[in-house]
Amino acid sequence: MSFSFSHPYQYSYEYSRPVAYFCMEYAIHQPLKLYAGGLGFLAGSHMRSAFELKQNMVGVGILWKYGYYDQVRKSDQTMDVLFQEKIYGFLINTDIKFTIKVSGHDVWVTVYYLPPEVFKTAPLFLLSTDVPENDYLAKTISHKLYDANPETAIAAAILLGVGGAKLFEILDWKPEIYHLNESHALPLIFHLYDQLKDIGKVREKVVFTNHTPEQAGNPESDFLLLEKMGFFCCIPVTEVRMITKMQGRFLNHTLAALRLSGIANGVSKMHLETLQNMWQPYNGDICSIISITNSQNFTYWADHEMYQEASNNNMPGLQKRKSQGKANLFEVVADQTGEIYDEKIFTIVFGKRFAGYKRADLLFYDMERFNTIVNNTARPVQIIWAGKPYPMDYTAIGIFDKIVNITKTYKNCSILVGYELKLSKLLKNGADVWLNNPRLTHEASGTSGMAAAMNGAINVSTPDGWFPEFAKDKINSFVIPPAPPGLPDHEQDAVEAKNLYDLLEKEIIPMYYDYPARWLTLIKNSMQNIMSYFDSNRMAAEYYEKMYSVNARQNVEKKYVVEKKPEMKEPTIITAPEEM
């Protein structure tokens, strides 16, 4: 083996503890297509902030041959899925090769390396089984992110967890902390237990982050299938049942991670409350759970020219920069849909991974109200949707196609394909309003609105996830009044759709057109308030302070389980000229 590794930059003393970061997806930059949605966006920002703070962190992931998928269109404009091979000339082939056990067979693993200087990140290793030594089935383990085949998904978990641990052993780089960013790399814990034979010592090394209360993100798998696949690293099932305290047919991956980690976190203060309610029956059997609110990397996401204009209190310059962002976005709209949009017209953007609870089609709940808004010639509106469903989530794809077919009949409504980092930045830079309307408590954090605020877009959202920690209604954002708790989904949708229509018609759109100075003040307040708490540098520092440090778990219930809302500076209200 010719490749040798030592941490490639001089890390800061306060961040000197070596941390291995395990994640299935990383959204670092558009050319590296290893991500599906929010988890990847978060991991990418974390890697960038680890570099900026000079933290002794190394990431490990999987080099997905076909990425997640390429979102394209069928002949009738509805959505189609394309799996296309990805080639990355900027990755270093380390020539490291080793084997892991999957279903009792040796599977060869090779390793690629992303140096920090390429995208300004902490060092990142990417594992692949697509090598000549493997048969076709073994090669497919690293072909598609979140493969719908259960056996392939389990094999990918073994690759990430066990393969990542074995890589660090080969490199002779010794992490003191292993960070599981979601439960995908759970076999890592069993690998460590097989080595240490002491679950207490394992807990000293492992921390765990849960990113969603949704069932899809908290899977359960049949014990017999997991054992057959080698998920438990040759540990007898009786021993696995003892340390995980699960006696039924299925292993709950998230619950196992909570029981076998030293400390865990949710990704917003609301999410922490949700997790405490979800796992309350297991109190005493799981580790302490704290909250570290997700965030996005300011250096990467922010429109720095817009911030310069805001800092100089140049409100005409701020308006001009926002108009340029809209013009850039509208070029993409014209290219994809044939519609020509106007930078002076109020523009709503809904951009995120499509999932049922995110309610991408909520604006269509009452088509009479919708038509009143989009057909108003006195105060015109443009609406843009974008987002990628899971490739086998036919319900979410159906919502996408529904939007396609409805928007065909409007010159001022459109839906775009290709929602990845590049398009995401354009959408945020070109949006007047960033719309977010998940069902309450379903959005663990949600980070798209943070990056939107860094680009002068005003968040309009239900008070879920990160948003209550930021929102000052009608000062830096607009809060959609939530429905009373406990209503069935369809009743909740009806109430919150009505509240959204009312908010748009009576407050948001009139402010944009009739009080432009006040609207620009709202933009500036939003841009100021998103800093610095929602910059991922704060988040990356908090992980070292609250999760990785030697003393992090001492008195954790007292110090962190019930946390105060972060102190936020009152927004500076700037009086702008009435006419721009």
Asked whether residue 58 is assigned to any structural domain, the reply reads yes
Residues 305 and 208 in one domain: no
- DSSP code, position 327: H
Q: How far apart are CA 365 and CA 409, in angstroms?
A: 17
Q: pLDDT, tens digit, for every residue of 346-400?
A: 999 999 999 999 999 999 999 999 999 999 999 999 999 999 999 999 999 999 9
Among candidate residues 418, 391, 387, the one with its CA nearest the CA of residue 403: 387
- DSSP code, position 143: T
Residues 207 and 352 in one domain: no
| 555 has pLDDT over 90 | no
* pLDDT band for position 217 (cuts 50, 70, 90): confident
Q: pLDDT, tens digit, for every residue of 23-73?
A: 999 999 999 999 999 999 999 999 999 999 999 999 999 999 999 999 999
Asked whether residue 278 is assigned to any structural domain, the reply reads no
Give residues with Cβ within 8 angstroms of 226, minimum separation 6: 154, 232, 251
Residues 228 and 338 in one domain: no
| Region for residue 428 given its phi and psi (left: phi exceeds 0; alpha: psi -120 to 50; beta: otherwise) | alpha
Residues 230 and 314 in one domain: no
Asked whether residue 552 is assigned to any structural domain, the reply reads no
Q: How many domains does the chain have?
A: 2
Q: What is the pLDDT of residue 553?
A: 65
Q: Where among 211, 234, 261 does a domain terminate? A: 261
| 432 has pLDDT over 80 | yes
Residues 257 and 307 in one domain: no
Q: Please tell me whether residue 313 adopts helix, strand or coil conformation.
A: coil
Domain of residue 128, residue span: 14-261
Residues 357 and 245 in one domain: no
Q: How far apart are CA 299 and CA 324, in angstroms?
A: 20
**What's the chain's average pLDDT?**
94
Q: What is the CATH number of the domain that holds 509?
A: 3.40.50.2000
Q: What is the pLDDT of residue 517?
A: 97
* pLDDT band for position 554 (cuts 50, 70, 90): low
Question: What are the backbone dihedrals phi and psi of residue 293, each rounded to the nearest 5 degrees, phi first?
Answer: -70, 135
Greater pLDDT, 101 or 567: 101
As a whole number, mean pLDDT of residues 420-448 equals 96
Torsion over CA: 46, 52, 55, 57 (sign):
positive
Asked whether residue 224 is assigned to any structural domain, the reply reads yes
Asked whether residue 546 is assigned to any structural domain, the reply reads no
Q: pLDDT, tens digit, for every residue of 283-339?
A: 889 999 999 999 999 999 999 999 999 999 999 999 999 999 999 999 999 999 999
Taking a C-beta distance cutoff of 8 angstroms, is the pair 35, 60 a contact? no
Q: What is the pLDDT of residue 389?
A: 96
Greater pLDDT, 403 or 213: 403
Looking at the chain, the whole-number percentage of residues with pLDDT higher than 90 is 91
Residue identified by tokens 């990845």 is: 420
Asked whether residue 249 is assigned to any structural domain, the reply reads yes
Q: Please tell me whether residue 125 adopts helix, strand or coil conformation.
A: strand
- DSSP code, position 223: H
Q: Where among 235, 261, 287 does a domain terminate? A: 261
Asked whether residue 229 is assigned to any structural domain, the reply reads yes
Is residue 307 exposed (0-12), middle (13-18) or buried (19+ Cβ within 10 Å)?
buried
* pLDDT band for position 574 (cuts 50, 70, 90): very low
Residues 154 and 67 in one domain: yes
Residues 402 and 525 in one domain: yes
Asked whether residue 402 is assigned to any structural domain, the reply reads yes
Give residues with Cβ within 8 angstroms of 206, minimum separation 6: 177, 178, 180, 188, 189, 192, 260, 261, 262
Q: pLDDT, tens digit, for every residue of 512-543?
A: 999 999 999 999 999 999 999 999 999 999 99
* pLDDT band for position 551 (cuts 50, 70, 90): confident
| 580 has pLDDT over 50 | no
As a whole number, mean pLDDT of residues 149-157 equals 97
Give helix 516-529 / helix 304-311 axis angle, nearest 10°. 110
Residues 255 and 302 in one domain: no
| 500 has pLDDT over 60 | yes
As a whole number, mean pLDDT of residues 428-442 equals 96
The long-range contacts involving 425-428, CB below 8 angstroms and separated by at least 24 positions, are 425/301, 425/451, 425/455, 426/325, 426/328, 426/329, 426/332, 427/329, 427/349, 427/351, 427/384, 427/386, 428/301, 428/349, 428/351, 428/452, 428/454, 428/455, 428/457
User: For residue 236, how many C-alpha atoms fall within 13 Å in the half-sphere facing its CB?
Assistant: 4
User: For residue 369, how many C-alpha atoms fall within 13 Å in the half-sphere facing its CB?
Assistant: 16
Residues 206 and 314 in one domain: no
Residues 305 and 255 in one domain: no
Taking a C-beta distance cutoff of 8 angstroms, is the pair 52, 117 a contact? no
| Cis peptide bond prior to 532, omega within 30° of 0 | yes
| 405 has pLDDT over 90 | yes
Q: How far apart are CA 508 and CA 31, in angstroms?
A: 37
Q: What is the pLDDT of residue 443?
A: 92
Q: pLDDT, tens digit, for every residue of 218-265?
A: 899 999 999 999 999 999 999 999 999 998 999 999 999 999 999 999
| 449 has pLDDT over 90 | yes
Q: What is the pLDDT of residue 283?
A: 86
Residues 61 and 190 in one domain: yes
Among candidate residues 222, 506, 227, 198, the one with its CA nearest the CA of residue 379: 506
Q: What is the pLDDT of residue 244?
A: 97
At residue 362's C-alpha, the angle toward residues 358 and 363, to 5°, is 135
Q: How far apart are CA 103 and CA 151, in angstroms?
A: 10
